[in-house]
Each structure stands twice: as C-alpha cells, then as structure tokens.
A and B are shown apart, each in its own frame.
Chain A
Amino acid sequence: MSPRTPVGKTSMPPDAPIGLTPPQLWEMLRTMMMIRKFDERALELYREGLMRGTTHPYIGMEGVAVGACATLRPTDRITSTHRGHGHCLAKGGDPRLMMAELLGKATGYCKGKGGSMHIADVDAGILGANGIVGGGIGLATGAALAAQLAGRDEVTLCFFGDGALNQGILHEAANLAAIWKLPVVYVCENNQYAMSARADKFTSVPDPAVRAVAYGFPGVGCDGMDVLAVYRAVAAAVARARAGEGPSLVVCVTYRYLGHHVGDPLNYRDTAEVEEWRRRDPIDRFAQDLVSHGVFDAGRIEALGGEVAREIEAAVAFAKSSPEPDVATLTEDVYA
C-alpha cells in the first residue's frame, strides 16, 4: 500500500470532477430505480407463491452496484453474490430474462435451473450470482488472471458482503492477486449484517478496508449510500487495475433495508436503526443532487419512475407467460 493512499478515504478528493455525462448520470439513476422496482416486484411474486427457494433483496444498496459497474467497460467482468439482482442489472442484465429465471421458466437466464442465486450471463461479463458466501472471490481473481494471461486490459469487479470478509478464500485470493498484480477490484458491500451477525461484532476491525494493508494494496472506504462516492472510489481502483498495478479493496458502507431474505425474523435490529438508514436513501439522494445541480428537472425524474415500473411489469408479464422447462432438460448441460 502506498503511504499516499490513506486507509478509509477514497483516493480522489470528493469534489473531483467525475467525468460522467448527463446521459450516463441518467442511466445510473434509471438503473438504481430498476433495481429497486425489480426487487420489490420479486418480493411480491414470492409472496404470491410464484417463486421457490428464497430471494435476497438488494433494496437500499443500489448505489453500490450502480456506482461500481458504471466504471466498467462492456468487456470487463463481475462476480456477484446471493444478493445479486442489483449487480446483474447494473452490469447490463436483461430484467425479462432475470424475472423469467426467478419464476423458473425455460426462457430464464439459466433455463430455470439456477433461480435467483445463480443468474449469470458469461458473455456479458456477469460470471454469476453465487450461493456460497465468498464463492465469487476466487472466481473473480481467476478471471483477472485469465485477462492478464491473454494480455487483455480487462478488469474484474468482485462483489461480496461483510459476511465474506471472514472467509478463508479472501485471504488466499487477495495474497495471490497482490503478488501477481492481477486486475481485480474487491468491492465489499458492508451492509452491516451477515444474517443476524453484526459486522462490527464479527469482524476484527471497525474499518475492514484496513485489511488491505496486510496484502500490500490500497484499501479505501466510501459511503455506499452515495452512488457518486462509490463511483469515485471504484473508478480509481479500476484505473489502477487496468494499468497493471494490481488489486484494490473498496469497502462500501451501506445497509439492507429488508431482511436477509424473505422470512427473516429481523429480531436482531430495531426499526429506529432502519429508519435512520432509510433517511439516507441512495436513490432519493442522487435524484435530489441531480435536480439541485440542474442536471435534470424533477418532473422528468418522476416520469422515469413510471417508465421503470412499466419495464419491470413487462418483465413480469414475459416471465409469467413463458413456458416451464421440459422435464427432458433435467439431464442436459451437466457436461459440455
């Protein structure tokens, strides 16, 4: 870690120009709203009995996925988590194919075989949600190795939660990424809880970004409720990775408004805490910033909400009207 990269701070000053054009900002806001609407509808579908297993809502954390993925090129890659709908949409996933997968339909991303926790689009650089906490960490690091071996300047973003901070694979992969200078950025979404385990009680340091010091690469924290703060922090890390200077850790401090999954008893936190975080809502904040800086007018943003809702409804309609997979497909695709 460079002594000029202070732990716990982004390596760009917060008022530095971010270089995002109005169309890019508009797309970021639209994607954040899409993620929220998508997961709200997914919860409804679950409660209607149309979804099996479970679903892990990303609601409240939209600024992380969107701010981080806005730094990427289409040829870059991400690995995601069990709470993965937001990452997938932010990397360009098609909500119709995602919704069809949630309903287990043949038209879904995984032909109904993966469900919420395994949505992937490898050709689009989405190397999958993952049902194993920390399961994407080694995959992302390996994808970065493939890019380095092939001489391509592609970067892999590795999303994981605070729960994965204490998985052994993070230690092994971070060390390897450092010694080999792999183009990977570890994006930790510290949403404060791993199921009922509070990050501040189950992680040995208050600021997990300091762990990067042990691997000799930069570790920075940022406000995960501020999409532009995430963008700044991740953009610096991506630029470093693309330049062949190796990995970084970016810890985004955020919050999941809802339970770990549907059916969470939520007996481990109080509603006052939730309300406090909700007052810092990343979508409201970004929209207000855009209006107050005169980038877009409030009416146009309000209309965007309706447009997003219609697109999600179209995705739900597509999913509902799609066919079930044929039972004959059960044994397909076990092997290539």
Chain B
Amino acid sequence: MSRPAVAPAPAGEAETRVLTYAEALNEALREEMRRDPRVFVMGEDVAVWGGGGVFGVTRGLVEEFGPQRVRDTPISEEAIAALAVGAAVAGARPVAEFMYVDFMGLAMEPIVNQAAKIRYMFGGKARVPLVLRAQEGAGRGNAAQHSQSLEAWFCHIPGLKVVTPSTPADAKGLLMSAIRDDNPVVFLEHKLLYSAKGPVPAGEYTIPLGVAECKREGRHATFVGIHTMVPKGLAAADTLAREGIELEVVDPRTLVPFDLDAVLASVRKTGRLIVGHEAYERSGIGAEIITQVVTAAFDALDAPPVRVCGKNVPIPYNPRLEAAAVPQAEDIVAAVRQLVA
C-alpha cells in the first residue's frame, strides 16, 4: 500500500475512533450478533485460529457468543455456502466466511443456482438473508490461487448483491447493512486493506447498499475505483495535483446495486472517466461501468473512457511480476495525464 485509506470522518453525532479495517469489520459482526440472535458466523478457522480468523476479522467472537454461533467448519466450501442458504431460508441470518475468494469457485453451485434464485423461482415467497464474506486481491505473494479479484463473477448473477468496501468506516457501515439485508450479499474485502486505519463511528452505523462516495473532489477527470484502487487513486490525485490536474476519486462501495447517478454526476462535471480495478481487465466490472456511463451520458464525455485494470494473466508469485500484474498509482497517473493532455 502506497497510502493508507483515511477517509474524512463520517458525519453524525456518534463518537468515532481510529480502527483498522479488520477491527471495523469485527465490530460490525459483534454488534449485529448482539442485536439479533439469528445472526451467526461460520467458516474455516473463524473461531479457534489465532483467536478468530486468519485475518483477525472474527477475533474474540467465540468468547462472547460461543461455539454454536461462531462455528469453525471443515474445509468444505460448497457445504458452507449451501448450509448457509438453507439456514437463511429456514429463518437464520448466516454470515459465512470464505478464507479466500478464490475458494468460492468450489461453492458456486449453491451461490449461483440456489441463493441467487430461490426468491425469484419461488415467486417471491422466500427470503435468503445471507452474507458471504471473502477477501480478494494481490500484493502478498500468494500467487495465482490466492490473489484473484473475482467480483465480476458475482455481479453477473441477478439476485446477488456485491459489496467492496475500501475504508474502515465503509467496512463497518456496509457490513451492518449487508447483515440486515434480506438478500444474499457477497461481501468482498481486500487482504491489503485489513491493516488500513481510519475513523469509525462507534455503535450502530449503517451505510445503505447502493450509495457511492466521492473520496476526493476534482474537476479534470473522474477516477472510479474499488478496494486498493481507492487509496491508489488518492495517491495518484496527490501527484497529479502538483501538476495542476485535479482528479476526482469516486468509490462506488457497492457494485450491485450500483450508484450510477453518482458516477454520472462526476463525469458530467469532469468530462473524463478512468475506471480502475485489480481484477482482470477482460469482462471486468470496468467494462460494465464504462458501458453504463457511455450509454447514459455519451454527450458528457470529452474523451473515450480508459481502463486501468489487472492484466489478463494469472497473478504471479515474484514481487516484480506481481506488481506489474495489477495497477499501481503510477499507472493511474500515466493514464490521467494522457487523458487530459
């Protein structure tokens, strides 16, 4: 991380503290489990390992809520997803954790064919209140099967919601909303953001799904990015500001539902659009965002939109190769310079 994600303090009366992204997620889980006895957590190594979770997100939950509501599972990703769906239909509110988004490949049947479709197939007479948490992203030398960004898989499926927080406050506010949502929500964290710090409101704090946030204002170009591309976009904006280029950084925060109005408002102001994500460029969400903007506001664009995305290669192990496989702040800077030239 070239720059930690420090968002402006969220509005409101609540006391705020500086927490890490992992601590903010933990707080959301803890407060929702206290509020609603139907909420429970299950996944691989969520209870015992290191006090709760390979990345510490579920730390201490088993002490407070016990092993019934904080369940370590065997390594059985399809069953984790499928049991969560069945439990949700039968009245529970599961939060299932997948250690790496890459492992969700083993669980796509219950996610895609059951969770996403049950309400519709059953004529609206069922609810599937379910959160499927996972972390994605490159940057730790975990190589091809532990570093992907696969949000586009889930965005493609009607019936799923997809959330991608980039700051600690957003992580807490969006996770609380996801747990209260009556739909299956795929909640994707980023492994490099867990240690990022920022102000987080204490107590109940929800951010509606489908509301983007402008993380930095600017008038020359709009950068729409998720996850680490938000802090990288902010770092690029700092560099560009020294050259007199003002980059606006918009974080959609949720990909489904997607706050197109917020992106359009920014593009109408700047006339230029850059979309950034770590995921493979081909058929990534950048293609969808650009299509939606071009379709709705072609006249507002002064130049063709640009993608700054992951290369269409598996994520390699070597640090130089890995850094070249996903976009860096310099790549955003270069793309913006070219776009506004």
**Contact residues of A with B, CB < 8 Å?**
77, 79, 108-114, 118, 120-123, 127-128, 130-132, 135, 137-150, 156, 168-169, 172-173, 175-176, 179-180, 332-336
Contact = CB atoms under 8 A, between A and B. Distances in A.
Given A127-B86, A149-B69, A334-B158, A169 B121 contact: no
B90 A146 contact: yes
Given A140-B86, A156-B90, 18 more contacts: A79-B86, A114-B122, A135-B113, A138-B79, A139-B110, A142-B88, A142-B89, A142-B90, A143-B87, A143-B89, A146-B88, A148-B68, A169-B78, A175-B76, A333-B119, A333-B120, A336-B127, A336-B129
- Candidate in B68, B85, B114 with the most chain A CB atoms within 10 angstroms: B114
Given A127-B89, A146-B90, A335-B161, A172 B119 contact: no
Contacts, number: 152
Contacts of A79: 86
B242 interface: no
B78 A176 contact: no
B35 interface: no
29 contacts: A109-B123, A110-B121, A110-B125, A112-B123, A118-B122, A120-B126, A127-B90, A128-B121, A128-B122, A131-B113, A132-B114, A135-B110, A135-B113, A138-B86, A141-B86, A143-B89, A146-B91, A149-B87, A150-B92, A168-B78, A169-B109, A172-B74, A176-B76, A179-B74, A180-B71, A334-B119, A336-B128, A336-B129, A336-B181
B179 to A, nearest CB: 14
Contacts of B129: 336
Contacts of A333: 119-120, 123-124
A143 to B, nearest CB: 4
The 7 tightest CB contacts between A and B, nearest first, are: A138-B82, A142-B86, A333-B124, A172-B79, A142-B83, A139-B86, A110-B123
Contacts of B94: 142
B109 A132 contact: yes
A235 to B, nearest CB: 22
A88 to B, nearest CB: 12
Interface string B247-289: 0000000000000000000000000000000000000000000
B123 to A, nearest CB: 4
B137 interface: no
Contacts of B161: 335
Given A139-B85, A150-B92, A176-B73, A122 B182 contact: no
A132 B113 contact: yes
Q: Which of A128, A142, A143, A333 has the most CB of B within 10 A?
A: A142
Interface in B29-43: 38, 40
Given A77-B90, A120-B126, A335 B159 contact: yes
A37 to B, nearest CB: 25
Nearest to B182: A336
B114 A139 contact: yes
A333 B158 CA distance: 11
Given A132-B113, A135-B114, A140-B86, A146 B123 contact: no
B308 interface: no
Interface of B: 38, 40, 68-69, 71, 73-74, 76, 78-79, 81-92, 94, 109-110, 113-114, 118-129, 158-159, 161, 181-183
Given A132-B109, A150-B92, A142 B82 contact: yes
A156 B92 CA distance: 15
Contacts of A130: 114
A156 to B, nearest CB: 8
A336 B120 contact: no
Contacts of B69: 149
A139 B87 CA distance: 7
Contacts of A150: 38, 91-92
B121 A176 contact: no
Given A132-B109, A135-B114, A149-B92, A334 B120 contact: yes
Contacts of B78: 138, 168-169, 172
A206 B128 CA distance: 38
Nearest to B112: A132
A102 to B, nearest CB: 14
Given A111-B124, A142-B88, A176 B114 contact: no
B68 A149 contact: yes
A142 B87 contact: yes
B114 A120 contact: no
B76 A172 contact: yes
B83 to A, nearest CB: 4
A180 B161 CA distance: 30
Contacts of A168: 78
Contacts of B83: 138, 141-142, 145, 173, 176
Given A173-B79, A176-B76, A142 B121 contact: no
B119 A335 contact: yes
Contacts of B68: 148-149
A112 B123 CA distance: 7
Contacts of A144: 86
B182 to A, nearest CB: 4
A138 B113 contact: no
A327 to B, nearest CB: 15
A336 B161 CA distance: 11
A127 B82 CA distance: 13
Q: Which has the most chain A C-beta neighbours within 10 Å: B92, B158, B183?
A: B92
Contacts of A109: 122-123, 125
B82 A139 contact: yes
Nearest to A335: B183
A138 B89 CA distance: 12
B116 to A, nearest CB: 9
Nearest to B160: A335
Contact of A143 (B81, B90, B114, B118): B90
Contacts of A138: 78-79, 81-83, 85-86, 110, 114
A325 B82 CA distance: 30
A238 B122 CA distance: 27
Contact of B86 (A110, A113, A143): A143
